[in-house]
Chain A
Amino acid sequence: MCLAVPGRVVEIAGSDELRTARVEFGGVVRPACLAYVPEAQVGDYVLVHVGFAISRIDEDTARETYAILAEIGALELPEEESDAPH
């Protein structure tokens, strides 16, 4: 029930409580209500739960997490990918 999946906002329409996006999840595009992430823009990753984005994923924090993991030797990513994990 609390399953929420990160996806990339590819298109936004409407405003306020009717603000809706098309969100791409690994090639599959589904609609999601953006009423709860008014700051989300096209290109952002949002966490979608039962058709609602409940959080915008903080890319800076995600990168910091990765830097920490790399530091403890948990990750062995090639140099050029260390900034932008896929």
Chain B
Amino acid sequence: MRHIDEYRDPSAVAAAGRQIRETVTRPWTLMEVCGGQTHSILKFGLEQLLPEQVELVHGPGCPVCVTPLELIDRAVAIAGRPDVVFCSFGDMLRVPGSREDLLSVKARGGDVRIVYSPLDALKIARQHPDRRVVFFAVGFETTAPANAMAVLRAATLGLDNFAVIVAHVLVPPALEVLLSCPDARIQGLLAPGHVCAVTGYRDYEPLAARHSIPIAVTGFEPLDLLRGVHAVVRQLEAGTCRVENAYPRVVQAEGNPAARRVVDDVFVVSDRKWRGLGEIPESGLTLAPKYARFDAEKVFDVKGLDVREPAECRSGLVLQGRLKPPECPEFGHRCTPEHPLGATMVSSEGACAAYFHYRRPVPEPAAPAAR
């Protein structure tokens, strides 16, 4: 496929790896923010192409993984109602709630449907005016324009049987938290290319300046990722800390103005709790007051939730880049994609799932991660 295959060309990828090795003189620790990037890195074995001095730590960029447990429990409660058709992206269905997941609700007869787009949920709402259709609007800035448009169209069409559970989070405030930790060891960032396709990268410039850290807006194919790594390493070696666009065929500095306008109309920025990271000020989106009637949390006033985080799951540390999945004693033993303890083992963007799929056989918990 054009714009994919050429960025996976093995000889080109090997040469890009050589270019990085020729640039590096000292050890550097970089974080790739997005879970999709983590999966590409592991799937294509890119860490093996990098010099030993370059360590990649995996960031919190998995929206499914950072959705708070109480919101999943709330979704499970709403999905279990007989009058509800519950629509969600597939990743969310197997994330364990305190007691059960959405797939279990479906298994016992709940009308839980996997949709490809929020517009599919809207279509179901139009087809079933007698049912209440709820969409689990999970995502980063990349997904916000799609979810915003679904709400906007529901308003235009007067679809009062449509509602959304909004679990939208914003990347820069979470990076601010991670970079502000006194023991933060991240020296360079690969910013999420598809988030920046929507938002642009101006919001990353204060982060780069405040934390003296180079940032490269980075894509998802092997050559894109290596280009991002090279851009950051080159800056680290030179002692500069700018935001650089290493994904210019997709990302413009100002992002996508049409998408940003609709997002700004439908949502307002709000404080939000991130699973594994805690409450982060102004790090999420909530429906603007004029669209509050589409807020499923208000439409269905769920009470009496008994939220219980599994004590043995260390996904919080994984999401902060402090623990690599194979270092968790439960990884590959008690925690597998079939029987996950936490969301990072379920989601197609979760770091634990990436290691499980692409880095087996599982090393012993005490052994260092294979490089």
Contact = CB atoms under 8 A, between A and B. Distances in A.
Contact of A54 (B6, B36, B142, B249): B142
B177 interface: no
Interface in B223-254: 223, 227, 248-252
A86 B6 contact: yes
A6 B1 contact: yes
Contacts of B63: 1-2
Q: Range of interface residues on chain A?
A: 35 or more
Interface string B69-100: 00000000000000000000101000000000
Contacts of A13: none
B133 interface: no
A36 B250 contact: no
Given A17-B153, A55-B250, A2 B145 contact: no
B15 interface: yes
B272 interface: no
B249 A62 contact: yes
B11 interface: yes
B276 to A, nearest CB: 16
B166 interface: no
Contacts, number: 138
B145 A54 contact: yes
A1 B258 contact: no
A65 B228 CA distance: 13
Contact of A49 (B6, B143, B347): B143
Nearest to A59: B249
Interface in A38-61: 38, 45, 47, 49-52, 54-55, 57-59, 61
Nearest to A38: B258
B314 interface: no
Contacts of A6: 1-4
Interface of B: 1-6, 9, 11-12, 15-16, 19, 34-36, 61-64, 89, 91, 116-120, 138-140, 142-143, 145-146, 149, 152-153, 192, 194-195, 197-198, 220, 223, 227, 248-252, 256, 258-259, 262, 347-349
15 contacts: A1-B139, A1-B140, A2-B142, A6-B4, A26-B1, A50-B89, A51-B117, A54-B256, A59-B249, A61-B248, A65-B227, A72-B19, A73-B15, A75-B9, A86-B2
